[in-house]
Structure 1
Amino acid sequence: MIVSKPKRRNVPQNLKIDSWQKLKSIFDELLSRNIQSSSDLEDWMLDNSELSAVMEEDMAWRYIKMNIDTTDDQLQKEFNFWIQEISPNVAPIAHQLNVKLVSSPFLDELDENKYRIYLRAVKNQIEIFREQNIPLFTKMQQKQQLYGSICAKMTISHDGKTLTLQQAAQKLKSTDRALREVVYNKINDRRLQDVKQLDDLFDELIELRQQIAVNAGYDNYRDYMFSAMGRFDYSPEDCTNFHNSIKKHIVPIITEIEKRRKDQLNLTSYKPWDTQV
C-alpha cells in the first residue's frame, strides 16, 4: 500500500525548502493576517501548526539521511544549511507568532478543555525565549551534530571485514566467549581513539548549555530544559526520587538476573562481554 500525504491547508504541497525566503513569505502572511473572530483564530492556529509540522519533517529527514551515510558531503551540507540558515531565522518570527496568539482578543473564546495544554506550552515558550540564545542554539546544534558524525564514523576490522560498532555489537550475542571478548575490546579500543575529541566537545556543550540557561534566567541547564520541554507535571526532585527508587528496588533485581545468567553460562567470572548472551 502506498501512503499518500494529506492535502495541506496553507503550505504549498510541493514546497522545497532551499532558501529562507520561501518560508519567510509564509511566516509573514501568518504574522500579518487579520484575525476577526475565534473561528479565524482557530484557522490561523491550524495553519501555523501545519507550517511547524512541515518544517519538523523536513529537518528530520535531513538528519536521518545525513546519519545513514556520514560520508556524503551533500547530505551534511543540506543539514548544516538548516541549522545555520533556517533555524536562526525561524526562532524570532516563531516567537512573534506565539505573542500574536496569546495577545489575541479572541483567545478567551477558545475551548479551554481543547486548547489548555497547548496554550500553556506556548506561554511557556514565550517566557523562556531570549534572542541572544539564537546563535548559541546554532552552535549547540552544530556541536551535537559533530558528536553524531564522530560516532557514526567509528568502525572496527574483524575477520577481514570493516564493521560499524552497531554491526560489531551483534557479535556480543555469540555463544563463543572468546569471540565476544575480542570484539568487545575492539569496540572499546575504537571508542578510546576519539576520547580527547569527545571530551573536549562535551566540555564545550556544557559551557554553551549553561550560558543558554543563564540567559533565560535559570541557574542551570537542567532546570532550563525542564521548562523548555514542558515538564509541568513533575519536578527535578521527582526525578531524583524516581532514580533512588530504581536504585533501591530495581537494581537488586537486575543484579540477581545477572547472577543467574553467570550461573547458566557456567562461568567463574562475569565480564562485560557476557551480558548479552
Structure 2
Amino acid sequence: MKFPDFPYSRPDLEQQEIAFRAVLAELTAADGINEAIAAVEQIDLIRSGVATAYNIGYVRHSIDTRDEFYKAEKEWFDQHLPATEAWRMDYYRALLDSPHREALRAHFGDQLFHTAELSLKTFQPELIEDLQEENKGYSQYMQLKGGAEIELDGETYNLSSITPLEQDPDREKRKAASSAKWGWYAENREEIEGIYDSLVGLRTNMARKLGYDNYVALGYAKMNRTDYGPEQVAVFRDEVKRHIVPIAQELYRLQTERIGVDRLHYYDTAFQFPDGNPTPKGEMADTIDAARKLYDGLSKETGDFFRLLEERQLMDLEAKDGKATGGYCTYINDYGAPFIFSNFNRTSHDVDVLTHEFGHAFQVYSSRHQKPMEYNWPTYDAAEIHSMSMEFFAYPGVPDFFGDDADKYYFNHLAGAMRFLPYGCAVDEFQHLVYENPDWSPAERNAAWKRLEAEYLPHLDYSDMPHLDAGTFWQGQSHIFGMPFYYIDYCLAQICAFQFWLKDRQDHASAWADYVTLCKAGGSRSFLQLVELAKLENPFEAGVMEKIAGVIRERLGELQ
C-alpha cells in the first residue's frame, strides 16, 4: 500500500485503554513466562495502532499545515495523547513488578527495563494538563513558521524557499534575502519569545511536581540517557571548545579570504565559494536518480530499500507553500514504513537532508522486527549516528549529485560538520542555562545566547541586523522549542560518524558491516553499548576528539 492510501481514522482512546488494561491484567496474572511474553507483545500491538494513527496524521499535517482536517487532528492528539503516558507508566510498573521479571529480561534484554525504570521518574497523572499545553505551545511555534510569508522583490517566499537566495554570489542580494528572513523573525519576536517563555515555565513546573530542582534532570530522563549525564556532556563541550572551535575559526578565516570580504557578516556565512556554492545538477528528479544509483551501488539492501520508499510514496521532498519547515524521518508502525520528509530548495542541503534522513529510515526499517516497540528506534544520540554516518557513506554518489561541483561539496560537507559542532554545543549549553535559570526574562535568555556566541562562534557579525545582534538567533532552532536537550545528540553522533568515515576510507566492507550491525540492533542497547557494538570509540573519552580533529584538519587542507 502506498502512503497516500494509508487509511486514517482518529483512534478511540477509551476503547483502546479498555483493551490495553485487559492485557495488562493478563501480564500481571500470567502463570508462566510464555503468557507474560504474549501479553507484552499484545500491548505492543495496541500501542502501535495509536502511534500509527498519530504518525499518519502528523505527516499529512506537516505536508500542508493549512489543511484544516489534519490541523484539527494534530490539535486533538496534542490534547489527548498525553493521557496515554499513564498507560505506558502502568505497563512499566507491571514489568518491573512481574514475578517473571528476570525471565522477561532474559527474553527482551536489559534495555527495556532500564527504560522502564527511568521513564517512571518522568511522569505522574497530574502532569497531563501540562503535557497538553506543552504540545499546544510547540504546535503553535511550528504553525507560525510553516505559515511564514516573506516578501522580497515582488515575490513571496517561505522559510525554506528563501534559503537559495541567502547563498547568492551577489552580496547585496544575499544580504537582502537574509535581512528579509530575519526581518520576519523580528516581526514575530514577541510571539516567539512568549511561546518559549510559556514552554520553559510548563517544563519547570512539571519537574518540580516530580521532585526535581529544575527541568535539567527531567529532560535527561525523558531522553532516556542511562549511561551519561550533564557532567559528561559539559566535559564534551569543553573538548569542543579546545579542539574544534580553533579549527572552525580557521575555516571561517579562510572563507573570508576565499569570498573576498573584509569580515563575515551574518549574510555571508552560508556563501562558501566565490563562484557559488555546490548545487545539485538538474532538477529534483535528477537528485532522486542520483540517489537511486548511489544506493544501488552501496549495497543490495540499500538499493531495494530506496525503491521501496519510491514505490510506496514514502517520501515528500519538495518545498511547498504551507509545508512545515525542516526535515525528519518518522515510522508508521503498523505498515513497517519509514517516511522521509524534507524541503528541497535546490541547494546542497537537499543532498545532506536526503542522505541523513535515509540513514534514519534505513535503520528503523532494519530493526522493524525488534521487539518490543521501544527497540524500533534507539535513543536520539545513537539514532543520529546512523543518519550522520550515512552522509559519509553517500560520498561515492557525490559526483552524480553535483557534477563539476563535487570537490566543492566534499570540502563543504566535511568543513560544515566541523563548523556545526561549536553551534550544536552552544545550543546545548544555552538550554542548560535556561532551565537552570527558569525565571529569566526573554532579554536575559537572549543575553545568555549572545555570551555563548562569543565563546563558540566569535566570527559572527550582526552589526547591521539589530534583531540578531540582540542574541535572538536561537529563536529559529525548532529543537529548542520542541525537544529540549536533543541537540547535543547531533554532536555526540558527529564524532561517531567521523569514525565511520575514517573506517570507510580504510576498509569499506568492514565499516559497512559494522554499520549494518548497528542499524539492526535498533534501540536494544544504550548509547554507549551501541557505540561499542559498532566498534567505535567512546566520544566522551579524553583524546578521541583531538585525534579525529587532527585527521580532519589534514584532509581539509588537502581539499582546500
What TM-score does the superposition give when structure 2 sets the normalisation length?
Answer: 0.45
After TM superposition, give the deviation of residue 26 of structure 1 in Å.
Answer: 2.5
In the alignment, structure 1 residue 31 sits paired with structure 2 residue 30? no
After TM superposition, give the deviation of residue 213 of structure 1 in Å.
Answer: 0.6
SS of alignment partner, residue 272 of structure 1: coil
In the alignment, structure 1 residue 95 sits paired with structure 2 residue 89? yes
The within-5 A match list for 1:152-191 is 152-191=146-185
1:17 and 1:23 in contact (8 A); partners too: no
After TM superposition, give the deviation of residue 240 of structure 1 in Å.
Answer: 1.1
Return closer, same or farther for 1:113/1:233 CA change in 2, 3 Å cut-off. farther
After TM superposition, give the deviation of residue 111 of structure 1 in Å.
Answer: 4.5
Moved over 4 A (4+): none
Q: 1:20 aligns with which of 8, 13, 30?
A: 13
User: For residue 233 of structure 1, what is the aligned residue in structure 2?
Assistant: 227
2:58 and 2:74 in contact (8 A); partners too: yes
State the one-letter code of the partner of 1:43: A
Report the Cα distance in structure 1 between the residues aligned to 2:266 and 2:7, rounded to whole angstroms: 50
Q: Return 5+ residue gaps in structure 1 as ranges.
A: 5-12
1:154 and 1:191 in contact (8 A); partners too: no
Instruction: Note the alpha carbon deviations across 1:33-89, whole angstroms, 9 max, x for none.
Output: 24221111112112222333332332233223223222222211101111213x143
Report the Cα distance in structure 1 between the residues aligned to 2:34 and 2:7, rounded to whole angstroms: 27
User: For residue 265 of structure 1, what is the aligned residue in structure 2?
Assistant: 259
Once structures 1 and 2 are overlaid, which stretch shifts more, 255-264 or 265-274? 265-274
In the alignment, structure 1 residue 221 sits paired with structure 2 residue 215? yes
After TM superposition, give the deviation of residue 208 of structure 1 in Å.
Answer: 0.5
Q: 1:75 aligns with which of 70, 79, 82?
A: 70
Q: 1:44 aligns with which of 16, 39, 49?
A: 39
What TM-score does the superposition give when structure 1 sets the normalisation length?
Answer: 0.88
State the one-letter code of the partner of 1:69: D
1:66 and 1:79 in contact (8 A); partners too: yes
The within-5 A match list for 1:122-137 is 122-137=116-131
Instruction: Note the alpha carbon deviations across 1:240-277, whole angstroms, 9 max, x for none.
Output: 11111112211111111111111111222321111122
State the one-letter code of the partner of 1:233: D
Report the Cα distance in structure 2 between the residues aligned to 1:111 and 1:238, rounded to whole angstroms: 28
Report the Cα distance in structure 2 between the residues aligned to 1:208 and 1:235, rounded to whole angstroms: 22
Report the Cα distance in structure 2 between the residues aligned to 1:234 and 1:14, rounded to whole angstroms: 41
SS of alignment partner, residue 128 of structure 1: coil
SS of alignment partner, residue 154 of structure 1: coil
State the one-letter code of the partner of 1:178: E
After TM superposition, give the deviation of residue 210 of structure 1 in Å.
Answer: 0.3
**Taking CA–CA contacts closer than 8 Å with sequence separation of 6 or more, which of the two structures ends up with the larger relative contact order?**
2
Instruction: Note the alpha carbon deviations across 1:189-223, whole angstroms, 9 max, x for none.
Output: 11111101111111111111001111111111111
Report the Cα distance in structure 1 between the residues aligned to 2:7 and 2:89, rounded to whole angstroms: 26
In the alignment, structure 1 residue 144 sits paired with structure 2 residue 152? no
Report the Cα distance in structure 2 between the residues aligned to 1:247 and 1:201, rounded to whole angstroms: 31
SS of alignment partner, residue 120 of structure 2: helix
2:33 and 2:103 in contact (8 A); partners too: yes
Instruction: Note the alpha carbon deviations across 1:97-148, whole angstroms, 9 max, x for none.
Output: 2222222211122353842111111122223321111111111111111111
SS of alignment partner, residue 161 of structure 2: helix
Report the Cα distance in structure 1 between the residues aligned to 2:89 and 2:228, rounded to whole angstroms: 26
User: For residue 84 of structure 1, what is the aligned residue in structure 2?
Assistant: 79
Report the Cα distance in structure 2 between the residues aligned to 1:192 and 1:234, rounded to whole angstroms: 38
2:79 and 2:135 in contact (8 A); partners too: no
Once structures 1 and 2 are overlaid, which stretch shifts more, 23-32 or 174-183? 23-32
User: For residue 106 of structure 1, what is the aligned residue in structure 2?
Assistant: 100
After TM superposition, give the deviation of residue 15 of structure 1 in Å.
Answer: 8.2
Q: 2:203 aligns with which of 200, 209, 223?
A: 209
Cα-Cα RMSD: 2.2
Report the Cα distance in structure 1 between the residues aligned to 2:47 and 2:21, rounded to whole angstroms: 14
SS of alignment partner, residue 95 of structure 1: helix
Report the Cα distance in structure 2 between the residues aligned to 1:211 and 1:188, rounded to whole angstroms: 32
In the alignment, structure 1 residue 54 sits paired with structure 2 residue 49? yes
1:143 and 1:201 in contact (8 A); partners too: yes
Report the Cα distance in structure 2 between the residues aligned to 1:31 and 1:114, rounded to whole angstroms: 17
SS of alignment partner, residue 162 of structure 1: strand
**Structure showing greater Rg:** 1
1:172 and 1:180 in contact (8 A); partners too: yes
2:171 and 2:268 in contact (8 A); partners too: yes
After TM superposition, give the deviation of residue 236 of structure 1 in Å.
Answer: 0.3
Return closer, same or farther for 1:109/1:233 CA change in 2, 3 Å cut-off. same
User: For residue 239 of structure 2, what is the aligned residue in structure 1?
Assistant: 245
State the one-letter code of the partner of 1:19: D
Report the Cα distance in structure 2 between the residues aligned to 1:245 and 1:133, rounded to whole angstroms: 37
Q: Return 5+ residue gaps in structure 2 as ranges.
A: 272-560
Report the Cα distance in structure 2 between the residues aligned to 1:183 and 1:89, rounded to whole angstroms: 44
Return closer, same or farther for 1:72/1:14 CA change in 2, 3 Å cut-off. closer
1:83 and 1:141 in contact (8 A); partners too: yes
Return closer, same or farther for 1:123/1:181 CA change in 2, 3 Å cut-off. same
State the one-letter code of the partner of 1:141: N
After TM superposition, give the deviation of residue 3 of structure 1 in Å.
Answer: 7.1
Return closer, same or farther for 1:47/1:3 CA change in 2, 3 Å cut-off. farther
State the one-letter code of the partner of 1:235: G
